[in-house]
Amino acid sequence: MKTFNFTVKYSRTVYAVIGRDMSDMPSQFPALFSGADKLCLVTDGAAPRSLKARAAALFPPGKAEYFTFALPASEKAKTPDQAWKLCSFLFLKGFSRDSLLIAAGGGAVTDLTGFAASVYMRGINWISAPTTFLAQIDAGLGGKTAVNLRGAKNVVGTFHQPALAVCDTAFLDSLPHAELRSGAGELVKYAMIGPGPLRRAVEKNLSKALAGDESALTTCTAACAAYKIKLVAKDERDETGLRERLNLGHTAGHAFEALAGGRMPHGEAVARGLRFALILSARTGRLPGPAFKKLDALITALRLPSPPELGRDFRKFLALVSMDKKARGAHNRFLLVNAPGRLEAAENVKMALLKKAFDGALK
């Protein structure tokens, strides 16, 4: 087993452990666990039983009083109502600022649990244990927490770093192919935003990762997680523009996800959002043809299923992208690609171009 350990100074010290078949975190991080009076393991109620067993092995209760809380599946977990339900549960069970939340699940679970941890008692400690490929390379790291509002993604949220992030790729053994492919959508993003070595690692491992190859998944997880952890350390609160690059493809991607009404997994929507950004980049003369082809081929390699019919409403798409948090008063704002690893924001892009990119992304 190979593990990668990171200690990063954000607004607080964050430990991250990435590897396979890890065990017993309390013995590795005694200061974090020995002081906790109560633990609550938060999971996705629809995830396989083996996930809960694996999480219990990683986080044995020790002397702390131990509770579990099951959330509804996927985006149904990311609602204000679920956040209050979790907070109420913690309150009724007597959780204090000495208690600890452990989120073991996909990005929906880590986003919601991190959000609850940030508001309960004005902030208690939490641990992120992402169990999907997407959450191990992205959602479970970096301290952005969120719930959705009226169908719009991540409208209410906070920055609240987990004290510890544990990416154990053994969780991925039970992940269905559609979720691996969804994670690979974010993986392809890293090939477009990251430096040369990260891009080459993704290019080399993409098809093996899609086939569930253990070693490829661990290599990709470690490379992407390391990049994200370091990037976030330089711009924890998304203020200087550095962290923004992680949002490539997300403005259009979030709109595709919302339009599909829960029928398009997040990473798949991001992959379509990346294609949208590549088409706009090429059509506005930023991205030369050969570079476009090379990057677009990574999206083709994902073999995305056809998008649902109800997701093709261009008017609604325009309304959604204009409401994006990042639009900053413009009609629309998208990150575009000048070259692999070189991004540039474009604002108020013309309707005809948007329509071409929209049609191309949903082909």
Ligand X SMILES: NC(=O)c1ccc[n+]([C@@H]2O[C@H](COP(=O)([O-])OP(=O)(O)OC[C@H]3O[C@@H](n4cnc5c(N)ncnc54)[C@H](O)[C@@H]3O)[C@@H](O)[C@H]2O)c1
Smallest distance from the beta carbon of 45 to ligand X, in angstroms? 8
Residue in 38, 78, 181, 266 annotated catalytic: 266
Smallest distance from the beta carbon of 140 to ligand X, in angstroms? 8
Q: Which residue has the tokens 């070595």?
A: 197
Joined together, the tokens standing for residue 13 give 């010290």
Catalytic residue list contains 250: yes
Catalytic residue list contains 247: yes
* DSSP letter (8 states) at residue 62: T
Smallest distance from the beta carbon of 13 to ligand X, in angstroms? 19
Distances (CA, A) of 16 to 3, 13, 102, 340: 10, 10, 14, 27
Catalytic residue list contains 144: yes
Contact 32, 47 (CB under 8 A): no
Distance, first Cα to last Cα, the chain: 41
Radius of gyration of the chain from its Cα atoms, rounded to whole angstroms: 20
Query: Quick check: 219 binds ligand X (CB under 6 A)?
Result: no
Query: Quick check: 73 binds ligand X (CB under 6 A)?
Result: yes
Distances (CA, A) of 235 to 16, 18, 142, 245, 351: 18, 22, 10, 11, 32
Query: Quick check: 108 binds ligand X (CB under 6 A)?
Result: yes
CA distance 232 to 292: 27
Q: Which is nearer to ligand X, 186 or 291 (CB)?
A: 186
Query: Quick check: 105 binds ligand X (CB under 6 A)?
Result: yes
Smallest distance from the beta carbon of 94 to ligand X, in angstroms? 28
Catalytic residue list contains 266: yes
| One-letter amino acid of 200 | R
Query: Quick check: 139 binds ligand X (CB under 6 A)?
Result: yes
Kindly indicate which of the ranges 29-37, 262-270, 285-293, 342-350 contains the residues binding ligand X, using the contact rule CB under 6 A.
Answer: 262-270
Q: Which is nearer to ligand X, 64 or 112 (CB)?
A: 112
Site string for ligand X, 25-64 (x = CB under 6 A): -------------------x-xxx--x-------------
The residue from 52, 189, 266, 275 that contacts ligand X (CB under 6 A) is 266
Residue in 144, 181, 199, 333 annotated catalytic: 144
CB-side neighbour CA atoms (13 Å) of 117? 29
CA nearest neighbour of 169 among 205, 115, 116: 205
Instruction: For residue 270, give the H/E element and its range.
Output: helix 266-283
The residue from 20, 52, 78, 333 that contacts ligand X (CB under 6 A) is 78
Angle at 26 between CA 6 and CA 85, to 5 degrees: 95
Q: Which is nearer to ligand X, 71 or 279 (CB)?
A: 71
Query: Quick check: 267 binds ligand X (CB under 6 A)?
Result: yes
CA distance 116 to 203: 37
| Site for ligand X, rule CB under 6 A | 44, 46-48, 51, 73-75, 78, 105-109, 111, 131-132, 134-135, 138-139, 142, 144, 153-154, 171, 174-175, 179, 182, 265-267
Catalytic residue ranges: 122, 144, 186, 228, 239, 243, 247, 250, 254, 266
